[in-house]
């Protein structure tokens, strides 16, 4: 088995979120914190071909993504700047690159099939509603019955599958791991001064892990390594962040046979693992 870089992406802005879709696309949220602007990009996940670039809403910064479903991105705004509460739903069609509908009064809760469960804040409590995903039209009013909403949410979550994803785990000494893996981690810890935890993922015959090495000036270097466990051979070594004062977790993940890797917070590099 081999690993091969297939594409990279950067606009020299901080990559905030990566959202693979169920239709073979990848949504990238970038934020320019100095200019206070957010940009959204969409790639074909298998090739890196750009589908759209630098999309912005009328609100340039205080906006985010709730979810992506069937080539529709559902954006939200915020009740107030610098406050975490979400308000409003904006449905944006990836293929036409147009807003299908928006409703400033409702706040998104979850999606189930072709229906969105949302709510409207009242003076006391909330009132819940079901909307059509494609049109935003009201399907049903649920009132303020929280138990019914919780049941619907649980049913929706049970339908979701994350089996095609592998996310890194934190290594602890009490973890039960293959002897080869424990030996590699113990050797790294004995050879280098490491701060924080080692994060790792096992993918078929490969072990990928990243850690923060302490430099002479006290700053940290975030390093990722990949090892073919069958052949006991290094297959990659990347410096994810050359020098930082803060820990940077969650720098890589897998979806099917692709590995997504963030470098220096502004580069996305995608690798393919081939048999």
Q: Give Cβ neighbours of residue 80 (< 8 Å, ≥ 6 apart).
A: none
Q: At residue 163, does pLDDT exceed 90?
A: no
Instruction: Kindly report, residue by residue over 173-217, the tens digit of the pLDDT.
Output: 777 888 899 889 988 988 889 998 899 999 888 999 999 999 999
What dihedral do alpha carbons 14, 166, 151, 83 form, nearest 10°? -20
Neighbours of 218 (CB within 10 A): 8
pTM of the model: 0.90
Q: CA-to-CA distance for 236 and 255, rounded, in angstroms? A: 18
Confidence at residue 54, expressed as pLDDT on a 0 to 100 scale: 96
Instruction: Kindly report, residue by residue over 68-113, the tens digit of the pLDDT.
Output: 999 999 999 998 877 788 999 999 999 999 999 999 999 999 999 8
Between the alpha carbon of residue 52 and those of residues 55, 56, 66, 120, the distances in Å are 7, 11, 19, 32
Instruction: Kindly report, residue by residue over 110-152, the tens digit of the pLDDT.
Output: 999 899 999 998 877 889 999 999 999 999 998 887 888 888 8
Instruction: Kindly report, residue by residue over 239-257, the tens digit of the pLDDT.
Output: 999 999 888 877 899 998 9
Q: At residue 275, does pLDDT exceed 70?
A: no
Confidence at residue 209, expressed as pLDDT on a 0 to 100 scale: 95
Query: What do you get for the CA distance between the two ends of the chain, in Å?
Result: 4
Domains and CATH numbers, the chain: 7-159 (2.40.128.630), 168-249 (no CATH)
Instruction: Kindly report, residue by residue over 46-63, the tens digit of the pLDDT.
Output: 999 999 999 999 999 999
């Amino acid at each position: 088995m081999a690993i091969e870089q297939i594409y990279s992406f950067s606009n020299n802005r901080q990559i905030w979120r990566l959202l693979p879709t169920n239709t073979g696309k990848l949504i990238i949220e970038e934020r320019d914190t100095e200019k206070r602007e957010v940009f959204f990009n969409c790639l074909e996940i298998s090739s890196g071909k750009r589908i759209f670039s630098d999309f912005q809403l009328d609100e340039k910064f205080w906006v985010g993504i709730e979810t992506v479903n069937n080539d529709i991105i559902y954006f939200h705004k915020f009740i107030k700047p610098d406050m975490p509460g979400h308000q409003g739903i904006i449905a944006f069609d990836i293929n036409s690159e147009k807003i299908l509908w928006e409703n400033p009064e409702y706040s998104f809760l979850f999606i189930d099939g072709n229906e969105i469960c949302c709510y409207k804040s009242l003076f006391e409590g909330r009132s819940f509603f079901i909307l059509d995903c494609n049109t935003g039209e009201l399907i049903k009013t649920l009132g303020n019955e929280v138990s019914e909403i919780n049941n619907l949410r649980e049913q929706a979550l049970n339908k979701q599958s994350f089996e095609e994803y592998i996310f890194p785990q934190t290594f602890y000494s009490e973890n039960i791991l293959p002897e080869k893996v424990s030996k590699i981690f113990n050797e790294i810890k004995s050879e280098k001064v490491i701060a924080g935890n080692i994060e790792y993922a096992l993918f078929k015959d490969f072990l990928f892990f990243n850690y923060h090495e302490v430099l002479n000036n006290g700053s940290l270097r975030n390093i990722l390594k990949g090892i073919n466990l069958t052949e006991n051979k290094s297959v990659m070594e990347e410096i994810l962040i050359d020098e930082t004062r803060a820990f940077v977790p969650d720098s890589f993940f897998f979806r099917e046979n692709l590995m997504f890797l963030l470098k220096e917070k502004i580069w996305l590099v995608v690798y393919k693992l081939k048999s």
